[in-house]
Amino acid sequence: MLFRSKLIPTPNGTQAMIHKTQIGIVGAGPSGLLLSRLLALQGIDSIVVERQSRAYVEGRIRAGVLEQGTMDLLDEAQVGERMHTEGLLHVGVDLCFNGKRHAIDFVDLTGGKTVMVYGQTEVTKDLNNALDAAGAQIVYEAEAVTVDGFDSDQPFIRYRKDGEAHEIQCDYIAGCDGFHGVSRRSIPAERIQLFERVYPFAWLGILAETPPVSDELIYANSDRGFALFSMRSKTLSRLYIQCAPDEEIDEWSDERIWEELAHRLDEEGANKLTPAPLLEKSITPMRSFVAEPMRFGNMFLVGDAAHIVPPTGAKGLNLAAADVRYLSRALVDHYKKADDGRLDRYSDTCLRRIWKAQRFSWWLTTLMHRFPEASPFERRTQLAELDFVTSTETGARSLAENYVGLPFDD
């Protein structure tokens, strides 16, 4: 463990605790934890700095669907055991429109590929438990985190903890601090290009102790808007309703939510929907976002720090894992083979996958949601595309191949 600390005086006369490591990681979400874990298994030292508490991070209800590539990476990180025993393997999804459900069979259409339903909350807990057991250095509830020096060969992260100043001196910084993090915002505007599309709706998400209405996920496009019927187990449902982007959550009583979910389902599903007390209720805005490039000197942007997708395609967490897969391999090549080829290609390789996932997420979001400004002609063409996707092998295969996760380039 390269973790070394010493107290030194700072220019303004106070003192700071200096820590040295190889990789300084900002953010203890799935990206930061998975990167730290994969590097540690290769003997590469890191320190993770997180502004929230561990309980807060583990308590966030977010993604639910893991691609095979993400499952393989969690196995490589030796944290996949509970996922395999408690996760739910899914062989397809249903699309529901005009009051009818249509199966998209992943196994038939992709030559056997599937996805796993296993909540991001559980992934985060599994990673934290493994990192804890290995004595990993994770600083929770860090304040005033800043990143600097990434254009030099001595980048550093500064933060305050319990009133004390700390500085992490490292070889590289991994900005795993999400859309609202400090890493991307530390890049001068002239060095970064941002691409964004904000959608004219949001998702109201609920978690309820009630059996899912179907074994597979149901994506519903109804006259009243989109709804998604997902789950976390055979007794725990994760459900979403398209709502206005400026919706006040207090305007949605439990009763109104259950009524709206039933309206947006086919008759069979609506009859199976069993209202229950809500364990969680939140509204998530819908945006597509990409920052280019993803490398700035010796700092790399990873996961939501560099890109956001509307959750319709279940790509957010899987894209973050793909970035981590590539960066961890690139850092291992650097330290073990003195080969910086992958580090040099990191941004281009990640962005190639990111933009294909952005396209799919935008396409499925456009296909499944009611747009307030849509003309009757656009509504008809939307329904015609749903008919094409569910009644032709070409249309169905395109959805299936993207949903289960495209092959990695490298």
Closer residue to ligand FAS in complex, CB, 27/405 = 27
CB of 63 to ligand FAS, least distance (A): 3
From CA 285, how far away is CA 245, in angstroms rounded? 6
Instruction: Give the one residue of 26, 47, 57, 65 binding ligand PHB; rule: CB under 6 A.
Output: 65
- Find which of ligand PHB, ligand FAS, none residue 28 binds, CB within 5 to 8 Å per kind: ligand FAS
**Residue positions annotated with a catalytic role:** 90, 219, 311, 315, 403
Q: Token pair for residue 403?
A: 């949903």
In which residue are the tokens 């005086």 written? 9
CB of 55 to ligand FAS, least distance (A): 12
From CA 270, how far away is CA 261, in angstroms rounded? 8
Closer residue to ligand PHB in complex, CB, 27/310 = 310
Closer residue to ligand FAS in complex, CB, 145/227 = 145
Tell me which stretch binds ligand PHB (CB under 6 A): 63-71, 161-169, 185-193, 245-253.
Answer: 63-71
- Cα 260 to Cα 22, 253, 257, 270, 274, distances in angstroms: 51, 11, 5, 10, 13
Q: Is 242 in the site for ligand PHB (CB under 6 A)?
A: no
Q: Is 230 in the site for ligand PHB (CB under 6 A)?
A: yes
Closer residue to ligand FAS in complex, CB, 153/246 = 246
Number of residues binding to ligand PHB, judged by CB under 6 A:
10
Q: Which residues bind ligand FAS (CB under 6 A)?
A: 26-32, 49-52, 57, 62-64, 120, 142, 145, 176-178, 180-182, 284, 303-304, 311, 314-317, 320
CB of 9 to ligand FAS, least distance (A): 25
Closer residue to ligand FAS in complex, CB, 104/317 = 317
Rg of the chain over Cα atoms, rounded to whole angstroms, equals 22
360 to 389: interface string for ligand PHB, x by CB under 6 A:
------------------------------
If we measure between CA atoms, which residue out of 217, 263, 254, 266 comes closest to residue 238? 217
CB of 110 to ligand FAS, least distance (A): 19
If we measure between CA atoms, which residue out of 185, 139, 136 comes closest to residue 3? 136
Tell me which stretch binds ligand PHB (CB under 6 A): 58-66, 155-163, 246-254, 323-331.
Answer: 58-66
Residues 178, 355, 346, 299: what is their CA dihedral angle, to the nearest 10 degrees? -30
Q: Token pair for residue 164?
A: 């004390």
Phi-psi region of 297 (alpha: psi -120 to 50; beta: other; left: phi over 0): left
- Find which of ligand PHB, ligand FAS, none residue 36 binds, CB within 5 to 8 Å per kind: none
Closer residue to ligand FAS in complex, CB, 31/46 = 31
Residues 44, 76, 65, 28: what is their CA dihedral angle, to the nearest 10 degrees? -20
From CA 261, how far away is CA 248, in angstroms rounded? 18
**3-state secondary structure labels for all residues of 162-230:** CCEEEEEECCEEEECCCCCCCCHHHCCHHHCEEEEEEEEEEEEEEEECCCCCCCCEEEEEECCEEEEEE
Q: Is 405 in the site for ligand PHB (CB under 6 A)?
A: no
Q: Token pair for residue 111?
A: 């030559």
Q: Is 28 in the site for ligand PHB (CB under 6 A)?
A: no
Instruction: Give the one residue of 27, 32, 64, 212 binding ligand PHB; rule: CB under 6 A.
Output: 64
- Find which of ligand PHB, ligand FAS, none residue 312 binds, CB within 5 to 8 Å per kind: ligand PHB
Q: 237-243 and 4-9 as β-strands: parallel, antiparallel, unpaired? A: unpaired
- Find which of ligand PHB, ligand FAS, none residue 51 binds, CB within 5 to 8 Å per kind: ligand FAS
What's the DSSP call for residue 17? E
- Cα 308 to Cα 70, 151, 198, 347, distances in angstroms: 17, 25, 11, 16
Q: Which of residues 298-327 bind ligand PHB (CB under 6 A)?
A: 311-312, 314
Closer residue to ligand PHB in complex, CB, 229/258 = 229
Q: Is 261 in the site for ligand PHB (CB under 6 A)?
A: no
Interacting residues toward ligand PHB by CB under 6 A: 63-65, 217, 228, 230, 238, 311-312, 314
